[in-house]
Amino acid sequence: MSGDGNDIETLRRILAEHRTVAVVGLSAKWYRPSYFAAKYLKDHGYRIIPVNPAYNEVLGERCYPSLRAIPEPVEVVDVFRRPEEVPAIAEEAIAIGAKVLWMQLGVVHEEAARRAREAGLAVVMDRCMKIEHARLFGGLNFVGIDTGVISARRPRHLPY
């Protein structure tokens, strides 16, 4: 699977089809963006796998020191790390057979993205999984926030 992950259909497909997410850099501190985003995803049915060598557990899930230490298949690698750390994370994502490399807001690394795409991963950069899920699947509009998705067409397939 390849793709740049920046169009609505690609984002919708990724979020609907891939439900196991390794969150690299997930903090156990409730006020950190990684915690907030992972909690939202978990509350919306995603399997969250924390990756952070500083913790044993986050959000009630066992925490792993690296992607390679995870004993189950991972579909999405969600990166909450500095851009200079992304190339090594991308290589690990490729090695474990992930389908998507997702870099959070403010995280952009073109070379790592190119390498991941060449290996067959879809790549999303500078976007938040929580925000995109809420925007595309209706989690923002109930509080009056304009989702920016204007269409008379219904999505082709929804997982729920």
Residue 20, in any domain of the structure: yes
User: In the chain, how many domains are there?
Assistant: 1
Whole-number Å distance between alpha carbons of 101 and 88: 12
Dump pLDDT digits (tens) for 74-103: 999 999 999 999 999 999 999 999 999 999
Q: Which domain holds residue 103?
A: 8-125
Residue 16, in any domain of the structure: yes
Q: Which residues contact 71 (CB under 8 A, 6 or more apart)?
A: none
Tell me which residue has tokens 């090594």: 88
Q: State the DSSP code for 72.
A: S
Read off the pTM: 0.84
Please state, as a whole number, how many other Cβ atoms lie within 10 Å of the Cβ of residue 146.
9
Dump pLDDT digits (tens) for 126-155: 999 999 999 898 765 444 444 454 454 555
Task: Specify the pairing of strand 57-58 against strand 61-62.
Answer: antiparallel
